[in-house]
Amino acid sequence: MNFDYDVMPTRNKQTSFGVNMRKCECGCRTYLLYEENENYKVVCESCDLDYRFKSSSIDGAILQWNNLPRDFDGLLRCGKVAAAARLFAENYYRDGKMGYTRKLLIEELAYISDLYDKSVEDGFYLANENHERLLGKKPTLQCKYCIRINNATNNSPRKAYLYCPMCGRKRG
């Protein structure tokens, strides 16, 4: 069966009594694909979600998909590291495998990760594209660290720097 994954099908996204399928962990829409012998596959419109299960009907398969807990591996696959860390902390705390303090620590680290991701999107950290923009504006004068690199002995590890870590000026 040849299937065009660019177009979402109009069927297999809703039960006969109007319950919609939940979205994928990446936030995109999903639908069901019937394979054979009552096997169903959940397909996401953007990521490579590969989740299969058995059900006696499409309605039962959609309800089974909606009632599944969020998927830790799916969150990691979609690049949502902070959400995966929160889910990990919640599950381990609920199962009694870790205490409340460790749960709070992981949630705090996830919060810091969210702040870092937001600040990179806003351009505050030296992400790769910001570093390239910085290198496009070459400073005319050498900074103090550039002078120290130039005055260092030949055995110094500073001589191996391709760029100055302080001003970003290319050495050589």
Model pLDDT for residues 32-84, shown as the tens digit of each residue: 888 888 888 888 877 777 778 788 888 888 888 887 767 777 777 767 788 88
In this predicted structure, the answer to whether residue 86 has a pLDDT above a threshold of 80 is yes
Same domain, 48 and 21: yes
Gyration radius of the chain's alpha carbons? 25
Residue type, 89: A
Q: Which amino acid is at 51?
A: Y
Q: Are residues 62 and 14 in the same domain?
A: yes
Show the domain range for 88: 76-122
Number of domain units in the chain: 3
Judge contact between 66 and 13, C-beta under 8 A: no
What is the largest distance, in Å, between two alpha-carbon atoms of the chain? Answer: 78
Q: Can you tell me whether residue 47 is helix, strand or coil?
A: coil
Backbone angles phi, psi at 43, to 5 degrees: -120, 135
